[in-house]
Structure 1
């Protein structure tokens, strides 16, 4: 069963903190990124670079990070790598390619009389770590992520603890995707040491325990979440989805569908519940209703539901249900082309 709750490991790349926020027209770039208009981001950066708008060193770094992120989102990974590699001076530290005076505010006292330390957006370090696996070198990505983890741990402050947690989460996701569950469990438990009452972390622990067949462990993790008795639809839906997964494991699809329906009633934008309800209906041999569920979700909440995993599942159902599924998928693809953000992968329709 597809779980759509996994966070995009690049989602925080568009968040910057002072003094980088002083870069020209940053709100516009942030707005374009939030709306998934990555081609417009590339165009805006290109036009800014062609003029005298970017007048200070950190301006160039912030705009470069947006450009590299946009290239990454558009799956132009080789171009994104070239963009990041352009920062590496010939006399850099091989253990940290960004350990160089050119990246320090201190090196430009005429521009930044009040600032000290590195002006490099953390997003550049994250992209530098993530990109190798996108072009076939996962081992290099792991090496860089673990180096980045050490880098964050060597620094103090709440913002660095948040970055440390994000890198740990990225590593856990990487190992999970590659079915290295023992390492994934160890990393999640390390995250729980700092945040023992995080219901989402505990739920992820339960998901991994289910993957390795530790049913008792997953029940205990999910029970800890439910016992928190927090308020809000988001928490109640988390509990509901956890319960539903337990039913799925025991092949009680009727009960799982009931839990997912309650989640959807509480929050119609809960795409995870909608997707998993459709899969349970399919497992129950109710292919017609499973298709209606996903089509209805796309119609009601297209911005939230337009997810490659959901579309792949819907197209798979079309292939099972209809002999002439090509025409139906073509219609879906044409609709997606009108409403999807730039980084949506149209190949997921398998036309």
Structure 2
């Protein structure tokens, strides 16, 4: 058995392969477990780097680009958009990798930098109908801002819609996620320092800066299965091709997303599967539209989503496609470069 390392933030002791290890959804790290299984079938044991001390490592896989690369072959999957992690767009650094995988259309050259979308569990299942859902509209997000102020950040848009519902229609909205027991977090170092102070104050004297806040969730489906609509804003208006798990989490629960964030050049998801949040001139206009959707109209959205998930166009966004594509490229590259990879 040969050995390889996966570097994901500060994760150690193979914890990313354990069920329920992910944030805001117990199976957030499911792709890494599947990736490990496929490499095992190819004769390579993929582990976090600390587990490979004392082993000869034939390659490293970095989730997001890193400054320091190992002596062995290195590959990178660019999970974060450059707006959040600028290193993920520094070409001089990316060229040091054997292969780079990304959804960022501005970087892809089809040779060294390859297209690979965010992975998702898109297995079809029975979802509740309009009348079975007891929540009108929800948001599942974390109260966090970008490290640096950026005009494409959508954190302010989230705060704006939360405050609208809290003042104009509190009975129609519920907020879930991490960190909403303190005031809205601001960007930059100052924002982080104020966040620390607010967290300290919340421990001493708990308050409710966001009255709509209902707490954290173990799995997003706990809430999305109950909600008719979900405010589904990306962290930012990212690079072309940027489309994260947020909209797909809604799809698999049959919850209709009000989506903002993707700047793709060509449509990646059919327009009848979601509600474009940018079409509205105000929050009030958006709410009026949502209230006009009855059970029949809601069912049409759900039917469109089911068609998309069952069709071939959704395959590129699945865990299986992500893992198999990455394994195929890495194995072919190792063999092509004369590395000692299993046959």
TM-score (normalizing by structure 1): 0.23
Greater RCO (Cα-Cα under 8 Å, separation 6 or more): 2
Larger % of strand: which? 2
Name whichever structure is richer in helix by fraction. 1
